[in-house]
Structure 1
Amino acid sequence: MPNSSSDSAGFRPAGTRCFPLNDDQREAAQAWVEFGARTPSKPRQASSVVLLKDSPSGLQTFLTYRPGGSPLGTVAFPGGTIEPADDDVTDWVGPSPVAWAKALGTDDSSLAKRHVVAAIRELFEETGVLLAGPDASSLVENISGTEWMRARESIATQDSTFAALLDRYGLALRTDLLKPLSHWTSPDFAHRRFDTRYFAAARPINQEPARLTSKGVWGRWASAADILADRTNTALGDEIGQPATIGLTLGELVVPGVEIILEKIAAARGCIAYLNHKRPINEYRPKLVADAQEHLSLEVPTAPMSEGGPCRER
């Protein structure tokens, strides 16, 4: 059975892509098959941001290590679940929640707003990059000191809210700086399921990402092309140096959504071209397929080098 790690950075044609399961997924999949398909658990709503910048080695993105078997992957873009306090954010510039709902392919403008707020909040929590400013034409600056790190820690532990931080500094969300990318739902057999909206944003001038003190084990800018060139070896997992990463290849560290986005970033001509590209918001729903071992199968409507024939869905 072909898998997502058999080639380096090139493009694969549209069609069915097969991704091997990691150990946690395989256990859940085996139980799903053994006991028969059941009603899947309701997925939690989540947002993730692909932060981008140009470099001599090509378009780069900021990747982080996520402990605890996150459904977003062991290595992922900054992101996390929607929280009730996200509804408290009211200062907003850029496309309206109704416009965002249309862009995200949903009729629920309240849900669209939560996804956008969660995306900007999670990006701030995990990297310190804040897509907010006093008006529609400016961004907050000088946010790398200890005061801002304490604010990030407080929001991450839910001791304070993102809305309170914005109110304190007189800031509004710059939702115009986000671009929608794709929509992923965890497979039915997963124990923990996420319904994740991926967004993209360029690194603001005068802001540089930094890991959260209490949670930041590993995170750095990475050339998507370089990461994909090493996808068949364990260089990235060994670099992170955690028990959950050592000896693992890219396909074992990231979820399929991350790997496919990395492929598209690697093929882009630069940050502006990538962000300005008109793309449909494809919804991906990975399914379990039958083979010598279980795989994830999903339809990919664009892109990279062929890896063989179709999978057979279970």
Structure 2
Amino acid sequence: MALPEGFVPPEPPDPPAAPKDAATVVLVREGAEGTEVFLQRRVAGMAFAGGMTVFPGGGVDPRDSDVSVAWSGPEPGWWAERFGCSTGLARALVCAAVRETFEESGVLLAGPAADEVVGDTSRYADARSALVSRDVSLAEFLSDAGLVLRADLLRPWANWVTPEAEPKRYDTRFFLAAMPAGQRADAVTTEASEAYWRTPQQALADWREGRCGLLPPTWVTLTEVAECGGVRAALDAERGLGKVIPRLVRRDGRWRAVLPGEPGYEEAK
């Protein structure tokens, strides 16, 4: 995959930047033409992935590790085994996934009880703004609203790490979640210029025809979701979660991402 011009600096950082922990959520639903995914085009000029089409997500906040979060579903230790990290980090990653999804799309993976999920989330608009501004933590919001985090609505999907040549790097755990009934995903965020639902096939066609830009993790994930053949199959898929670290090569005057197992990966930086 060719990367956009200016995405890679002329001189890669030496030593490479340490990747920051992050979480991304692939929201899926059944549409008229099959499985659809929720996508956002990031505002052009942003420090990381400006102008690119991505899934909701972002970096882990220190308060995401708060043990007071009311929790339903697989415990942090279960997530730690899947992602190969500490229990504390696993807790923070799941909380970051729920928080970032709510902040960026208005979709809230929580409910008033362990077996319930909220419907219309507009009543939490003020809390959503307070989360974005970091005036409240996820734990504080859930406690005040009497809500339980629904970890059981998430599925571990992948673990991508930004190439070493890039100045901003993230160790991102990808999650999959079905769109909760009664909720709607929106574009009420300063980080996205537009947001929409597409089948993976449509999104990949947009990319091939130059209507959107996709980074390797997004491109690969869309391809994988398309291959599942449905939301239920995607949720039930057994996934390998080893870290995927693309490498960059300069070919035909452009930087291109090479994935593990592809020709030239071992020789690339």
On the 8 A contact 2:102/2:128 being kept in 1, the answer is yes
2:247 match? 287
Correspondence list, 1:67-216, <5 A:
67=43, 68-71=46-49, 74-88=52-66, 89-106=68-85, 108-144=86-122, 147-212=123-188, 214-216=190-192
- Give the number of aligned pairs: 263
Cα distance 1:209–1:71, how it changes in 2: closer, same or farther (>3 A)?
same
Q: CA deviation at 1:163?
A: 1.5
Q: CA deviation at 1:233?
A: 1.3
Indicate the RMSD between aligned Cα atoms, in angstroms: 1.9
1:20 match? 2
* Aligned partner (choices 175, 200, 207) of residue 224 of structure 1: 200
Please list every run of 5 or more consecutive structure 1 residues that lacks an aligned counterpart in the other structure.
1-18, 238-252, 301-308
SS of 1:205's equivalent in the other structure is coil
In 2: Cα distance, 1:73 partner to 1:259 partner: 15
On the 8 A contact 2:22/2:171 being kept in 1, the answer is yes
Q: CA deviation at 1:290?
A: 4.5
If asked which structure has higher relative contact order (CA below 8 Å, sep 6+), I would say 1
SS of 1:218's equivalent in the other structure is strand
In 2: Cα distance, 1:232 partner to 1:213 partner: 27
Cα distance 1:105–1:160, how it changes in 2: closer, same or farther (>3 A)?
same
Q: Does 1:310 align with 2:269?
A: no
Q: Does 1:63 align with 2:39?
A: yes
On the 8 A contact 1:124/1:130 being kept in 2, the answer is yes
On the 8 A contact 2:42/2:49 being kept in 1, the answer is no
Q: CA deviation at 1:255?
A: 1.2
Q: CA deviation at 1:158?
A: 1.0
User: Residues 193-249 of structure 1: CA distance to partner in whole angstroms, max 9, x if unpaired?
Assistant: 1110100000011111122255552101111111223332133x4xxxxxxxxxxxx
Cα distance 1:195–1:220, how it changes in 2: closer, same or farther (>3 A)?
same
On the 8 A contact 2:21/2:172 being kept in 1, the answer is yes
Matching residue's letter, 1:287: R
Q: CA deviation at 1:279?
A: 1.4
In 2: Cα distance, 1:69 partner to 1:262 partner: 24
User: Residues 89-134 of structure 1: CA distance to partner in whole angstroms, max 9, x if unpaired?
Assistant: 521111111111011122x110111110000100011111111112
Please list every run of 5 or more consecutive structure 2 residues that lacks an aligned counterpart in the other structure.
none
Matching residue's letter, 2:11: A
* Aligned partner (choices 229, 241, 245) of residue 269 of structure 1: 229
Larger Rg: 1
Q: Does 1:299 align with 2:252?
A: no
SS of 2:120's equivalent in the other structure is coil
On the 8 A contact 1:290/1:313 being kept in 2, the answer is no
In 2: Cα distance, 1:233 partner to 1:215 partner: 24
TM-score, length-scaled by structure 2? 0.91
On the 8 A contact 1:82/1:114 being kept in 2, the answer is yes
Runs of 4 or more above 4 Å deviation: 213-216
